[in-house]
Structure 1
Amino acid sequence: MTTSEETISDLRAMSAGSAGYAPVSADLLARLADDAEHGGPVWSLIGGHPQAAEPLFGIRAVAGVRWLMLSGLAPELAEHLRHLTAGIGDREYATRTWQLSAQALLDHPDQTRAALDRPVQQHQPGRASVLLAALGMLGAPKVRLLELGACAGLNLLVDRYRWFGPGWEWGDPDSPVRLVAHGKAPGDLTIVERAGCDLAPRDPADPADVLILHSFLPPERDIERMELDDALALAARSEVRVDKADAADWLAAELARPAGDGDVRTVVWHSLLWGYLTPRQQTDIERVLSEAAARMPLARAGFEPHNWGLAPRLQVTVYS
């Protein structure tokens, strides 16, 4: 199978970008790039996927490995990764990790293909710290929060976490989810309504969906794994609404309803979503926001990279 230089380059770039915080995943991506370059057995299995040329396809493949391990289908790999801390930086250990990972994919082609069909959903609750910063910038006393690409709704629970910033604390003091924040305290605000949409929403009370979300966490990120479990348990109790819907259509329907009294500001939030949308979808969302701004106090907070090779950045837009 002939693989484009751009696809191989994307895999190597993703590997380099992951090396600092997820060295095991970074090494797997680098070896997957080698496999693709030489027409190896793993790429022969997965390279024909219709989205194989997309920038984040390698993340789906690595998540597929992780899903196989977590689901009990790759016990030898699971046992191997029990010694992960001692093995980081050891080339023989890394080679064995790749061998066991590749074998797991090849041994379970149906499950591997199913994993490749799933959208990337790296849904750690700590990302809500960016949303918290945006809400602090806006300074609205009452907020209706709408999220595009909400997954399991963890960002929508931003006020139900306990945040620890430099010299301040904020949020529910009894929350089981306790996270570090940066910058200034967000001040007094109340989220009076919250809802989200996603093309593939995840139910935080469904063990199968929980397993999928865990599959996108690198195996060496122990703290994030515990935070995710705590946030999913809280979300399951909170029953936050996340509808399965197209972002533009859903947003238009939500913004057609009034937000409440005059001091409620509607905030539309999205993170690491924009690059998945087509230009037409992006235009439709922009149009819906512009039209709604004439009827209500409205703001948009996005945490997105300029392109997949760059770090995401927060951009807050206030419509007047």
Structure 2
Amino acid sequence: MIPEESVKSLRAMASAMSGHTPMSADILTMLTDDIESDGPIGRILAEHPDAAAPLFSLRALAGVRLLVLTGRAPELSGHLKDLMSNADNPVYAERTRELFRQTLLRNPTEIRAALDRPVQQHQPNRAGSLLRGLSMLAAPKVRLLEIGACAGLNLALDRYRWFGHGWEWGDLDSPVRLAVSGPQPNKFEIVDRAGCDLAPRDPSDPHDAMILRSFIPHERDVEQMELDDAISLAARSDIRVEKADAVEWLKRRLSQPSDTGTYTVVWHSLFWWYMSEQSRNAIEDILTRASRNTRLARVCFEPVEWGGMPRLQVSIYS
């Protein structure tokens, strides 16, 4: 059953999306209407055991997007090629909704698989907040630990080329080239990096890579290209995310202190509010205890409360 609070969150998200991804916002509104009217799509979503999970219906959008990306929804795929030239065409919008409904209802096995997967909106440009946070610490050496790391793209921030106002930073020859706001970063070296996720994605696995792509809305072609470049780079790297619960993983990772000259940084982005209150409290306790023996900070890009706008937060524990 999808609770009323979740329905309100979906409508709020659709409203926030309408300015930059209007087609995806319209489809999300259609799904929400179907949930409230107990329509056929709404019943499919409501019957899933994860239906009460935050922003659960985004999994359905990703499921249809995956069918388009993999060539299993040719009619919808062909239709979307004319999206940019039909931005204000109500007839085209209604046809988009119709084809989306048909694609979802005619592919129950693929949609069920998509509903079983967590939401994983994993853009590499989010690491720009991490870069700014690490610079604030002014630590020459960093041990970087990420919870909810997905495919580990944020862990590779020093292997990207960043462009700010009047400055550049990172790997000069990197195929991943990203714009970022803020002052020029300080110099630092990531001497160790690791991440965990309950459902990690392997960037070298074509199916996992396609799942990551499915969470980028059709309209965001620049972000799609950035993600493709980051996935290709990560596939050739040594970074792999461990399948583990964030609480137990952090407890294990922080059981031994880092070197004297190294700052341990725990990083997460748009992940905190997907965890239970119990898990959030447990992580705070783990960080507080570890700070007695380790130079430790938490850098995150999260809303202060569920449903709010994310912001960079830097918490120094020791």
Alignment TM class, shorter chain as reference? over 0.9
Q: The residue matched to 2:118 in structure 1 has which SS?
A: coil
Residue 5 (structure 1) shift: 4.2
Letter in 1 for 2:261: D
Query: Which position in structure 2 is the counterpart of 1:51?
Result: 50
Change (3 A) 1:216 1:312: same
TM-score scaled by length of structure 1: 0.96
Query: Which position in structure 2 is the counterpart of 1:275?
Result: 273
Q: Are 2:272 and 1:243 aligned?
A: no
TM-score scaled by length of structure 2: 0.96
Letter in 2 for 1:256: S
Residue 287 (structure 1) shift: 1.2
Query: Which position in structure 2 is the counterpart of 1:266?
Result: 264
Residue 36 (structure 1) shift: 1.8
Query: Which position in structure 2 is the counterpart of 1:70?
Result: 69
Deviations 1:208-240 (A, max 9, x none): 001100110000111111110110111111121
Query: Which position in structure 2 is the counterpart of 1:290?
Result: 288
Deviations 1:82-108 (A, max 9, x none): 111112222111111111111111001
CA distance in structure 2 between the aligned counterparts of 1:5 and 1:163, rounded to whole angstroms: 41
Moved more, 305-314 or 295-304: 305-314
CA distance in structure 1 between the aligned counterparts of 2:3 and 2:262, rounded to whole angstroms: 50
Residue 258 (structure 1) shift: 3.2
Contact 1:194 1:241 in 2 (8 A): no
Deviations 1:148-204 (A, max 9, x none): 011000000011100011111100000000000111111110001111000000000
Q: How is 1:185-224 mapped onto 2 (pairs within 5 angstroms)?
A: 185-224=184-223
CA distance in structure 1 between the aligned counterparts of 2:252 and 2:36, rounded to whole angstroms: 46
CA distance in structure 2 between the aligned counterparts of 1:253 and 1:4, rounded to whole angstroms: 35
Gap regions ≥5 residues in structure 1: none
Q: The residue matched to 1:46 in structure 2 has which SS?
A: helix
Q: Are 2:306 and 1:308 aligned?
A: yes
CA distance in structure 1 between the aligned counterparts of 2:186 and 2:225, rounded to whole angstroms: 28
Query: Which position in structure 1 is the counterpart of 2:159?
Result: 160
Q: The residue matched to 1:57 in structure 2 has which SS?
A: coil
CA distance in structure 2 between the aligned counterparts of 1:288 and 1:165, rounded to whole angstroms: 35
Residue 143 (structure 1) shift: 0.4
The alignment yields a C-alpha RMSD, in angstroms, of 1.4
Gap regions ≥5 residues in structure 2: none
Query: Which position in structure 1 is the counterpart of 2:97?
Result: 98
Letter in 2 for 1:107: R
CA distance in structure 1 between the aligned counterparts of 2:49 and 2:17, rounded to whole angstroms: 24
CA distance in structure 2 between the aligned counterparts of 1:273 and 1:317, rounded to whole angstroms: 16
Letter in 2 for 1:166: H
Letter in 2 for 1:113: R
Letter in 2 for 1:116: L
